[in-house]
Amino acid sequence: MIRVAIIGYGNLGRGVEFALRQNPDMELVGVFTRRAPEAVETQGATAYHMNDLLAKKGEIDVCILCGGSATDLPVQTPEITHHFNTVDSFDTHAKIPEHFAKVDQIAKENNRVSVISTGWDPGLFSLNRLYAQSILPQGETYTFWGKGVSQGHSDALRRIDGIADATQYTIPNTEVIERLKAGEALTLTTRDKHLRECFIVLEAGADEARIREEIVTMPNYFADYDTTVYVISQEELNQNHKAAPHGGTVLHTGITNESTKQVIEYNLQLESNPEFTASVLVAYARAAVRLANEKQFGAQTVFDIAPKYLSPIDVETLRRELL
């Protein structure tokens, strides 16, 4: 049995708790939190304070880190990798090299494996970009996200004066995807690839016209997109827009022999973004423990890990049944 600790218990941590139930070769030691453990409502797991993690060192094979990339993981992944094998979903793309280098050094010094930046993007989408570009080097790779909720954009809406609550959907331009798949060569702007839909709840007396203008002109977040704003009630938002669906497409269109068109497409259609990300983290937690057993210490990403390490099934059976 692979013994797992969940570090941090938000939507992602809860997703890991669910995912572990589907993996009979893994068992959950407990949830570790900076909050008062008795205040954390798990789905059945015992909650401990983070200060008690080190005392459990002999009982844990891998820690799945479920904190955020902005402030939690840059500190937690290095710290915890001193003592445990770890898996994280660090997704600040620009800071991945720095994060990797820091964690890699600690992992090697302490004989640990740390799988960083896994999930679906970075993660499965990265894998598909790599496989596709390696196989069809004369080609173009396009990543489309959605339809799904962007937490970052929803947060940006909620920070606007006069907005009580909000949900933002990122929507891929499916017409453009179909044209690319049909072999058209398109030069795409940011605006061409995705649309944005905002469902907002106004505070009493808020100036709707000013708020609409502020949204569609917001730099980085909305100004470069075709953005539609819907004003709805808090009840409607709660009822229809509080789930966390997501997904997307990695499309690679290439040619062989000068003009023969070949298309590789990978799609995810997720009813719950955090639960799916959690399922990816759990599969890579299995890989982390196996790689540690083989003494392949250091930081690793999805690029470094042979696919067989993710499966609970032995490789002879995989060759016979899945190849």
Residues belonging to the binding site are 9-12, 33-35, 66-69, 89-91, 118-122, 145, 170, 196, 246, 273
State which of positions 228-247 bind a second copy (CB under 8 A).
247
- 195 binding a second copy? (CB under 8 A): no
CA–CA separation, 150 and 271 (whole Å): 14
For residues 50 and 96, which CB has a smaller minimum distance to a second copy in the complex? 96
- 23 binding a second copy? (CB under 8 A): yes
Least distance between a second copy and beta carbon 302 (Å): 7
Q: How many CB atoms sit inside 10 A of residue 216's CB?
A: 17
Give the residue, chosen from 3, 49, 92, 96, that forms a contact with a second copy under the rule CB under 8 A: 96
Sorted by sequence, the CB contacts under 8 Å of residue 187 that are 6+ apart come out as none
For residues 81 and 227, which CB has a smaller minimum distance to a second copy in the complex? 81
Helix axes 273-293, 11-21, angle to 10 degrees: 60
CA–CA separation, 96 and 74 (whole Å): 10
Q: Kindly report the CA angle at 218 between 222 and 190, in degrees rounded to 5?
A: 30
> How many angstroms from the chain centroid is the CA of residue 192?
24
Sorted by sequence, the CB contacts under 8 Å of residue 221 that are 6+ apart come out as 152, 153, 156
The answer to whether 90 and 104 are in contact (CB under 8 A) is: no
Residue 133 is which amino acid? Q
Give the residue, chosen from 268, 285, 288, 289, that forms a contact with a second copy under the rule CB under 8 A: 268
Least distance between a second copy and beta carbon 56 (Å): 26
φ/ψ of 180, rounded to 5, equals: -65, -45
**Total residues binding a second copy (CB under 8 A):** 66
Nearest to 227 by CA among 175, 171, 178: 171
Nearest to 89 by CA among 62, 106, 114, 53: 114
Partners of 199 in the β-ladder: 167, 230
For residues 196 and 252, which CB has a smaller minimum distance to a second copy in the complex? 252
Judging by DSSP bridges, how do beta strands 62-65 and 246-256 pair with one another?
A: unpaired
Give the residue, chosen from 44, 58, 97, 219, that forms a contact with a second copy under the rule CB under 8 A: 97
For residues 38 and 316, which CB has a smaller minimum distance to a second copy in the complex? 316
φ/ψ of 275, rounded to 5, equals: -70, -35
For residues 206 and 310, which CB has a smaller minimum distance to a second copy in the complex? 310
- 2 binding a second copy? (CB under 8 A): no
- 22 binding a second copy? (CB under 8 A): yes
Burial environment of residue 248 by CB neighbours within 10 A (0 to 12, 13 to 18, 19 or more)? buried
- 307 binding a second copy? (CB under 8 A): yes
For residues 145 and 276, which CB has a smaller minimum distance to a second copy in the complex? 276
The first and second tokens of residue 172, run together, are: 């891929």
For residues 105 and 133, which CB has a smaller minimum distance to a second copy in the complex? 133
Least distance between a second copy and beta carbon 171 (Å): 17
For residues 227 and 301, which CB has a smaller minimum distance to a second copy in the complex? 301
Question: Of the listed pieces 12-20, 198-206, 207-215, 221-229, which binds a second copy according to CB under 8 A?
Answer: 12-20
- 122 binding a second copy? (CB under 8 A): yes
- 133 binding a second copy? (CB under 8 A): yes
Partners of 145 in the β-ladder: 248
- 131 binding a second copy? (CB under 8 A): yes
The first and second tokens of residue 286, run together, are: 């299995």
Residues lying near a second copy in the complex (CB under 8 A) are found at 15, 18-19, 22-23, 93, 96-97, 100, 117, 122, 124, 126-127, 129-131, 133-138, 181, 247, 256-258, 260-272, 275-276, 278-280, 283, 286, 301-308, 310-312, 315-316, 318-320, 322-323
